[in-house]
Amino acid sequence: MVINFAAGPAKLPEEVLKEVQTNLLNCNGSGISVMEMSHRSSNYAKIQETAIADLRELLNIPQNYKVLLMQGGGTGQFAASALNLIGSTGTADYVITGSWSAKAAKEAAQYGKVNAVLPKLASYTTVPRQSTWKLDPNAAYVYYCDNETVEGVEFDFVPEVKAPLVVDMSSNFLSRPIDVSKFGMIYAGAQKNIGPAGVTVIIVREDLIGKHLKVTPSILNFELMDKNNSLLNTPPTFGIYVMGLVFKWIKANGGVAGMSQRSKAKSQIIYNIIDQSNGFYYCPVERQVRSRMNVPFRIGSSTGNEQLEKEFLAKAEAEGMIQLKGHRSVGGIRASLYNAITLEETQKLAKLMLEFYENNKN
């Protein structure tokens, strides 16, 4: 049995994959696969409408928020968020705490002025407290990434700002309860925590729709997407179908609160081993902002012993634990503990870490 600790595209719940397998040739009694189904058909309409309704229930999304299902992943939303929102003042605040927020800021700078509210950090290992931020009172919105997948940094607070708050939640979406009303816009690429690659969920307050720049492509235009019920073009029907099944799986397993409890328990198991290893395992991230989703660590020292890390990865793969190698930009090891990773699977990784420590600590 393989355990997939990939950062994305990531593991999906086994129950969901089995249901997909069972219905692949005959989806919901239609006689055809969902991959062949017209996006204008009543059969598909029910799939999409149910998925959106379940998401609204899971997050208790207020009625004055629209749910859009779009393509282009998180990277597409780097552009879409700016194109749709920056036009009201021409400037936006960006809180850069990792690789993805840095890329988002660079993209937005093509469409308006970007104000980096923090000095450039020497390394992405912390989230500076909001009291240190230099916000622009003229900003159309304040942008941040709630969980930086590469560096393993996760916000431990929701910023309190006057401008609409825009957040990338791609890698921790539906892993803990949130108050949607605190945000102007939330988006999440599905492939990290809620489905296969190809779908991006956007939750946007309706008063922010219709303010897009004239150059906004139709495919990224929130107003057009809303008017067409996310069917302006052919949506990623298969991805939306699978995502809908994941929403039902979350509902059946304690909802978002249940996912939050699991996430805390799983990540704590791994962090405890790191912290109790006398420096053999090293996590560079400050404790209060350590990610529950992506746990990065080095072996042997703070800069890593490449030989030991190669041996660890080889041993993990031999035991069926795959895709634990850290992002190419930072190296080391990274265990991604998304919702679909079980407590038992996490414990198997913990067992390997303890054994490897005992065999190599000297």
CA nearest neighbour of 215 among 83, 20, 99, 48: 83
The model carries a pTM of 0.97
CA nearest neighbour of 293 among 195, 151, 167, 103: 151
Domain at 15-253: CATH code: 3.40.640.10
Cα of 290 vs its chain's centroid, Å: 15
Per the listing, tokens 């909001």 go with 130
Distance CA 82, CA 90 (A): 9
CA nearest neighbour of 99 among 153, 23, 39, 143: 153
Distance CA 252, CA 102 (A): 36
Helix (H) or strand (E) segment spanning residue 211: none
142 and 92 in contact (C-beta within 8 Å)? yes
Side chain identity at residue 92, one-letter code: A
CA dihedral 169, 342, 315, 17 (to 10 degrees): -80
The answer on pLDDT for 328 being more than 80 is yes
More confident residue, 303 or 244: 244
Which of 152-161, 279-288, 299-308 is predicted least confidently? 299-308
123 and 284 in contact (C-beta within 8 Å)? yes
pLDDT confidence of residue 331: 85
pLDDT confidence of residue 304: 84
172 and 292 in contact (C-beta within 8 Å)? yes
CA nearest neighbour of 70 among 233, 238, 243, 212: 233
More confident residue, 328 or 241: 241
Domain 254-359 indexed as CATH 3.90.1150.10: yes
Task: Give me the active site residues, please.
Answer: 100, 168, 192
The string of pLDDT tens digits covering residues 56-102 is 999 999 999 999 999 999 999 999 999 999 999 999 999 999 999 99
The answer on pLDDT for 362 being more than 80 is no
Parse the chain into domains and list their residue ranges. 15-253, 254-359
H helical segments located in the chain: 14-23, 42-59, 73-85, 99-108, 222-227, 237-252, 255-275, 306-318, 343-360
